[in-house]
Amino acid sequence: MNGLQQARALALATAGGLLGGAYISQYVFGLFPCEMCWWQRWPHFAALLFAGLSFVIVPHRVWAALAGLAIITSGLIGGFHAGVEYGWWEGITGCSTLPSAIDVMDVSAAPIIRCDVAPWSLFGISLAGWNFLISCVGGAAVVALAAFRK
């Protein structure tokens, strides 16, 4: 398997695996996404698109590298989100603070998913933190394979 084939496979596996994990955590385990969680998903969708395009549109390596950059983008958003969850800095959305008034009698209201509270962690690392680690390493490997390995 040459570098381009490895880059494509890694891009599909990384983006697809992380999106799959996000949807399993949402629909199987009830860990609903906050606004910043959604921000992390969009670059993975783009990475899947770019990886797919790398099979059909030349220059193939450029599309594969774009997939890697999209994965890294998701990781950087995840790193920012993890910092908000750990209290290292303030979030930039309304989901980092409680609304000023909540009508507890309004059962039709959607649940409030806070961006500054990690709903789950493993070894002290939240889902956003894991996305940061996996996406940055995986995305960098995709770019390196696409750009530098024949």
What are the start-end ranges of the E strands in 77-139?
121-122, 125-126
Distance CA 109, CA 56 (A): 45
Give residue-wise pLDDT tens across range 9-44: 999 999 999 999 999 999 999 888 888 999 999 999
Distance CA 69, CA 143 (A): 7
Give residue-wise pLDDT tens across range 127-136: 999 999 999 9
Whether the Cβ atoms of residue 85 and residue 132 lie closer than 8 Å to each other? no
Provide the pLDDT confidence category of residue 119 given band limits of 50, 70 and 90: confident
- Beta-carbon count within 10 A of 24 CB: 11
DSSP reduced 3-state for 121:
strand
Give residue-wise pLDDT tens across range 63-88: 999 999 999 999 999 999 999 999 89
> Can you tell me the mean pLDDT for 90-103?
63
Domains of the chain, residue spans = 3-90+113-148
> Can you tell me the mean pLDDT for 89-106?
62
Highest CATH level, class, for 3-90+113-148: mainly alpha
**pTM as predicted:** 0.85
